[in-house]
Structure 1
Amino acid sequence: MEKTWRWFGKNDKITLAMLREIGVEGIVTALHDVPNGEIWTREKIRDLREYIESYGMRWSVVESLPVSESIKYAGPDRDQLIENYKQSLRNLAAEGIHTICYNFMPVLDWARTDLLHPNPNGTSNLYFSFAQFAYFDIYILKRENAEQDWKAMGEKMDRDIVGEAAALRQTMTPEDDHQLVENIIVKTQGFVSGNIREEDEHPVELFRQLLSLYKGITKDQLRENMRYFLSAIMPVCDECDMYMCVHPDDPPFQILGLPRIVTCDEDIEWFLNAVDNPHNGLTFCAGSLSAGKHNDITALARKYAARTWFVHMRSCHIFDNGDFTEAGHLGGRADLIELARIFESVNPQLPMRVDHGMTMLGDENRGYNAGYSFLGRMFAMGQVQGILATVDRELGIEYKQPVNFRQ
């Protein structure tokens, strides 16, 4: 697989010169300065592409060309927004970029309650606590029906999540509340989707407004809106050979009363069949899928490898109570060694990036985006490079060795 890296543009504290040194071949990025819904111009795309190429790498994958909320909930301007999206696809294709990772998650892109959860070895990882998330939903966000939803979730898990959230209320300080808001709706969202920015003064109120846009939207309606979007853009994808690969929901279960429609085998099968076109495919994020006990990650990889156009190599560990944490890239529920065998057998040219690495050796003090450390991801990249070299030898595939010397 092509060794790629998610990079957040020219202002990223991790530079392309650093990435070239550690063997990165392809860059996964986006035009983060363009507001959601606006057309990506050829000029802006070309400027960033040429900048990446000046460091000896290529712009392999767009992650992401955001799908505006209005497209997801079928707002009155969705057709115009889809037209803008189609033009952005044409402009990307004209600049030689053909793979688009996107998501169809309402409002919240990915959710964690602790961004620096300590590990026994002194590193830290992203972490999701059901009790803390329920506390945020019930007592900070004060969402209608939140308590009933968490009671139902707890019954499924044989766990008193509402009671645990109530117990937390007795110990949480205003500073703790602020940190939880930062972790859930600011630090994990501002650099990704643009719905919430770090400079927003009232993020909770803004978040409530965004949630209200989906009031009454069911899973079936959200599915239909996804089908509408994909059906509309597929002619352009066929014309320009653009590969759309949806990212699974993270975490892969319903939260905040919002429907989630890419969480499991049934969901993946549905959207691939709903618009049965090879340009409609999957980003196989082993981490997102492994955060759900209901998912057999290896079986899903075998079933959908032929419709996978991008791979996120990471893994989660689920604790006995259902809480989960990002695992090391050689541990957790996702067997990355077996996944490498599957994807290398089907398509050894697939772009792949390591994801959500540990925070280690001072990463936490360098201002990196949450989940996107440098040293932690570099460590993970070294592990995955070793996996790929070994698997390719098993399969008789010539492994592309980095050349870091000259006479």
Structure 2
Amino acid sequence: MEKTWRWFGPNDKITLEMLRQIGVEGIVTALHHIPNGEVWSLEEVEKMKNFIEKAGLRWSVVESLPVSESIKYAGPDRDQLIENYKESLRNLGKAGVKTICYNFMPVLDWARTDLEYPNPDGTSNLYFNRAEFAYFDIHILKREGAEKDYTDEILARVDELKKTMDKEGEKRLVENIIVKTQGFVDGIDADQLRENMKYFLEAIMPVCDEYDINMCVHPDDPPLQILGLPRIVTCDADIKAFLDAVPNPHNGLTFCAGSLSAGAHNDVPELAKKYADRTHFVHARICNVMPNGDFKESTHLDPRLIDVVRTFEEKRPGVPMRVDHAPLMLGDEKMGYNAGYSFHGRMLALGMVSGIMATINAEKGC
């Protein structure tokens, strides 16, 4: 696999020169300064591409070219927004940037309740506490009917949590979960969201065919129904459904082992084997799910992740891969990095995954 790194542009505290020194081969980034829904001009695309190439690297993956909320809920400006999206794809294709990661999660992107959950070794990780999330939903967001979405066990944990929760604790939850109010229309269900995703993909596939662009949707993170919002990329059946709905090989998957493993219902190594041929991008990380449903990031040496890496090394050599959601360590917590995107933690993770890849290839005689 190609060793890539998510980089947040020229203002990122982690420089391209630093990334070359630690063995990164390709860059995963986006034109973050362009508002969602506007066209990425060829000039702006080539400016970013040239900047990366001058550092001796290449722009391997766009993560992400955002899908506007109105496309997801079929708003009145959907078709114009799709035309803008197609024009951005054309400009990326002309510049030779041909792997596009995106998501179709309404309103809320990935969610965690703790961004610095302490580990015994002094590092920290992202963590998702189901009771805290339910508390946020019921008592802070005060979503009507929220209680119906949770089990009696979780509701009992919420009641216990309510006895000790203070204003600072509530503030922490709000800051960590970061609910985005982007005008999503209430009442849309999973079936309608699937139809809207199909409509979008069918509209852009001719451009993908013309420029050999691979679209790869990111699984929902976490792969659960949250805040009453429909989630449609959470499990084997969901993945099969969107791939079958638009069978064009340019319609593919970002295989995020971390997102998928956050659901105990997913056998991640088996999913990797099943969908390797439709995977265009790999996120190498993994989660441990607790008996109560909470989950946290696990080590990149987790045997399940080793199995995933083996699958893609054998079945999809050259596919872009990046590590993410690594521990905060060695002062990372003081640097103001985006949550989950530390330098030292990701560097350690990249070293681990690079070692796994080298071992697998040595076994193959490569």
Q: Do they fold alike, i.e. is TM over 0.5?
A: yes
Structure 1 segment 6-405 matched on structure 2, within 5 A = 6-150=6-150, 154=151, 160-185=153-178, 196=180, 207=181, 210=182, 213-331=184-302, 335-397=304-366
SS of aligned partner of 1:352: strand
Query: How far 1:138 sits from its partner (Å)?
Result: 0.6
Partner amino acid, structure 1, of 2:316: N
Map Cα deviations across residues 15-37 of structure 1 (whole Å, 9 max, x no partner): 11111110100000000011000
The answer on whether the counterparts of 1:230 and 1:275 sit within 8 Å (CA) in structure 2 is: yes
CA distance in 1, matches of 2:298, 2:4: 20
CA distance in 2, matches of 1:58, 1:290: 30
Query: How far 1:72 sits from its partner (Å)?
Result: 0.4
The answer on whether the counterparts of 1:2 and 1:26 sit within 8 Å (CA) in structure 2 is: yes
CA distance in 2, matches of 1:130, 1:322: 7
CA distance in 1, matches of 2:346, 2:99: 22
Q: Give 5+ residue unaligned stretches, structure 2.
A: none
Q: Give 5+ residue unaligned stretches, structure 1.
A: 187-195, 197-206, 398-407
CA distance in 1, matches of 2:226, 2:43: 39
The answer on whether the counterparts of 1:214 and 1:258 sit within 8 Å (CA) in structure 2 is: no
Map Cα deviations across residues 118-165 of structure 1 (whole Å, 9 max, x no partner): 001110000000000001001111111111112xxx1xxxx5212221
Partner amino acid, structure 2, of 1:281: G
CA distance in 2, matches of 1:161, 1:226: 32
CA distance in 2, matches of 1:388, 1:168: 43
Map Cα deviations across residues 154-203 of structure 1 (whole Å, 9 max, x no partner): 1xxxx5212221222221221111111110016xxxxxxxxx5xxxxxxx
SS of aligned partner of 1:170: helix
Partner amino acid, structure 2, of 1:10: P
Partner amino acid, structure 1, of 2:8: F
Query: How far 1:396 sits from its partner (Å)?
Result: 2.8
Query: How far 1:293 sits from its partner (Å)?
Result: 0.7
The answer on whether the counterparts of 2:106 and 2:184 sit within 8 Å (CA) in structure 1 is: no
CA distance in 2, matches of 1:299, 1:214: 36
SS of aligned partner of 2:210: helix
CA distance in 2, matches of 1:257, 1:109: 14
CA distance in 2, matches of 1:214, 1:279: 29
CA distance in 1, matches of 2:285, 2:332: 18
SS of aligned partner of 2:178: helix
The answer on whether the counterparts of 1:63 and 1:100 sit within 8 Å (CA) in structure 2 is: yes
CA distance in 2, matches of 1:148, 1:343: 40
Is 1:4 the equivalent of 2:4? yes
Report how many aligned residue pairs link the two structures: 366
Partner amino acid, structure 2, of 1:391: I
SS of aligned partner of 2:66: coil
The answer on whether the counterparts of 1:248 and 1:285 sit within 8 Å (CA) in structure 2 is: yes
CA distance in 1, matches of 2:310, 2:199: 35
CA distance in 2, matches of 1:71, 1:182: 27
User: Over the residues paired in the alignment, what is the CA RMSD in angstroms?
Assistant: 1.1
Map Cα deviations across residues 281-303 of structure 1 (whole Å, 9 max, x no partner): 00000000001111011110111
Alignment match, 1:203 = none
The answer on whether the counterparts of 1:4 and 1:351 sit within 8 Å (CA) in structure 2 is: yes
Map Cα deviations across residues 343-381 of structure 1 (whole Å, 9 max, x no partner): 111121100001100111110000100010000000000
